[in-house]
Structure 1
Amino acid sequence: MDMGAASAYLSPSRWSLPLIPPPSPSPPPQESIPFSRVSCCSSRLSSSAVTSGSGSSKTATLSAIQSSGIIACLRSSCAEIAFEAASAALDGGISVLEITMSTPGVFQVLKRLVEAYPAAFLGVGTVLSVADAINAMNAGARFLMSPATVKDVMNVVQGTEVLYIPGVMTPTEILCAYNGGASIVKVYPVSALGGVQYIAALKKPFSDIPMVASQGITTDSLGDYITAGASAVVLSDAIFSKEAMLRRDFSKIHQLALHASSHGKEAVHG
């Protein structure tokens, strides 16, 4: 890894361009903001989300997650910062990235990223409703994540090429989610449940169920989770450092992404 190159990383000029403009007609002045959660997105599932190409199939997405060992989790209080931070991480080698629903204009940011990084596997996190699931899929999400198993979301994803990763905590929840159609589950909040040891314990009875470990994981500990049986880990602050996000230090985020990506590939492939 060339750390000198990472420290010299500069934001591409395209980041300074405005993101997707609000739809027409514009909202009333008191609601006129650069981005909104559901603007530009239909309440119905578009045909492209159902019949997307093989490059965005569930199998390809699952394979990308398992190959990289990392799902980068981005949350931001500003749409422009979210786009720039995501771009820095993707340019730094991250191939799978989720943007949380709490990010303003999450769907518009996602659409812009899909256009800029068509080969990346981009998704939306903290999806708790069918409406949010449909808007995320229409915006180009290849996967959806939830902190719990939301059956309505699981049902609406069935028949599409979008991968749903439900959140689970107990052995019963893992088995129910898997029997309900989940190809992979997210064990959350893993640090509070016992961390690496908890993943290792769960994999004994559920060796065939792919698991993503999520919450409180550092780049230095991701290898231990992979060794314990996790297919991948969710990295949030480890890549999108609170300080770097606050200072808009995208060079730092790029550097952290390079570091995490290298560790993830080493952990998965040896």
Structure 2
Amino acid sequence: MSSLLDLTPVIPVVVIDDADTAVPLARALVAGGLPVIEVTLRTPAAREAIARIAAEVPEATVGAGTIRTSADISASVAAGARFLVSPGTTLSLVEALDASGIPYLPGAATVSEAMALAERGVKELKFFPAEAAGGVPYVKALSGPLPDVRFCPTGGIRADTAAGYLALPNVGCVGGTWLTPADALAAGDWGRVEKLASEAAALR
């Protein structure tokens, strides 16, 4: 797989409450031009959703987000996740992510956290929570002392603020929840999801 940061301008960050919505949701995102999908492990349905997308939507690259433990990693890989994303990073977690054998984006919110990961050779990171941690000015400032580190900012980013991040040289893509509004998922409004995905895919 190419770098996760180069596959798409926006990675949809999806919270799925009903696994039955996973496949039509993934198909709508792919149809809109966003084939990389992060399913967060925030609901009991998440692992089944990952498994269904992996099995039934082969054109999608589905991953697992909110990875916090080695158990999360093993369960996600078993379900068919093709990449892993963590909100933050501990030493034991990054060692387990390394051992998973699949691409991952470990979370970092400070210069020290980014430096610690870069020392391990991990130079593509999730910057989270992006807006709360300083937003575009903060990520821009990181490019000076950390020119070899690239980020996927996630957390509080909206359709109208994503372009500001994507314009930065140290940002490969952003993660966003705005592509899959809870009311659209509940109503099965896949046309709306596809339209939001299409607009996001055109950001770069």
Equivalent in the alignment of 1:112: 52
Task: Indicate conservation of the 8 Å contact 1:74/1:236, yes or no.
Answer: yes
Cα pair 2:109 2:127 within 8 Å, conserved: yes
How far apart are the structure 2 equivalents of 1:156 and 1:243? 36
Once the two structures are superposed, what CA deviation does each residue of 1:144-187 show, in whole Å capped at 9, x if it has no partner? 11111033332223255411211111100111122234241111
Report what 1:31 is aligned to.
none
Question: Who is 2:124 aligned against?
Answer: 184
Is residue 225 from structure 1 mapped to residue 159 from structure 2 by the alignment?
no
Cα distance between partner residues in 2 of 1:126 and 1:159: 18
Report the secondary structure of 2:16's partner residue: coil
One of 51, 64, 70 as aligned partner of 2:10: 70
Which residue identity does 2:17 align to in structure 1?
S
- SS of the residue 1:123 aligns to: strand
Q: Give the C-alpha shift of residue 113 in structure 1.
A: 1.0
Distance 1:86 1:220, change over 3 A: same
Task: Give the counterpart of 2:43 among 103, 106, 128.
Answer: 103
CA distance in structure 1 between the partners assigned to 2:80 and 2:50 by the alignment: 7
Match of 1:135 in 2: 75
Q: Secondary structure at the match of 1:255?
A: helix
Post-superposition shift, 1:245?
2.1
Cross-structure match for 1:234? 175
After superposition, the C-alpha distances for 1:213-248 in whole angstroms (9 at most, x for unaligned) are 1111122322210212311100112x0013212322
Q: Alignment RMSD, CA only?
A: 1.8
Aligned residues: 203
Say if 1:148 and 1:167, in contact at 8 Å, map to a contact too: yes
* Contact preservation (8 Å) 2:23, 2:56: no
Q: What letter matches 2:81 in structure 1?
A: A
Residue 8 of structure 1 is matched in structure 2 by none
Cα deviation per residue 1:184-211 (whole Å; 9 max; x = unaligned)?
A: 1111111112211111011111111111
Q: What residue number does 2:86 align with?
A: 146
CA distance in 2, matches of 1:244, 1:132: 28
Counterpart amino acid of residue 169 in structure 1: A
Gaps of 5+ in 2: none
Take 1:184 and 1:217, find their aligned partners in 2: how far apart are those partners?
Answer: 19
CA–CA distance in structure 1, aligned partners of residues 145 and 6 of structure 2: 20
Structure 1: runs of 5+ lacking an equivalent: 1-56
Residue 63 of structure 2 aligns to a residue in which SS? Answer: strand
Whole-Å Cα distance in 2 between the matches of residues 161 and 90 of structure 1? Answer: 25
Question: Retained in 2: the 8 A contact 1:167–1:185?
Answer: yes
Q: 1:210 aligns with which of 145, 150, 154?
A: 150
For residues 194 and 156 of structure 1, the distance between their equivalents in structure 2, rounded to whole angstroms, comes to: 29
How many percent identity over aligned positions? 28
Aligned amino acid, residue 31 of structure 2: D
If you compute each CA radius of gyration, which structure gives the higher value, 1 or 2? 1
Q: Which portions of structure 1, spanning 4 or more consecutive aligned residues, are displaced by more than 3 angstroms?
A: none
Q: How much does 1:142 deviate?
A: 1.5
User: 1:146 & 1:252 partners in 2: Cα distance?
Assistant: 28
**CA-to-aligned-CA distance 1:28-87 (integer Å, 9 cap, x gap):** xxxxxxxxxxxxxxxxxxxxxxxxxxxxx4xx2x1x432412111000222112333222
**Contact 2:157-2:176 at 8 Å conserved across structures:** yes
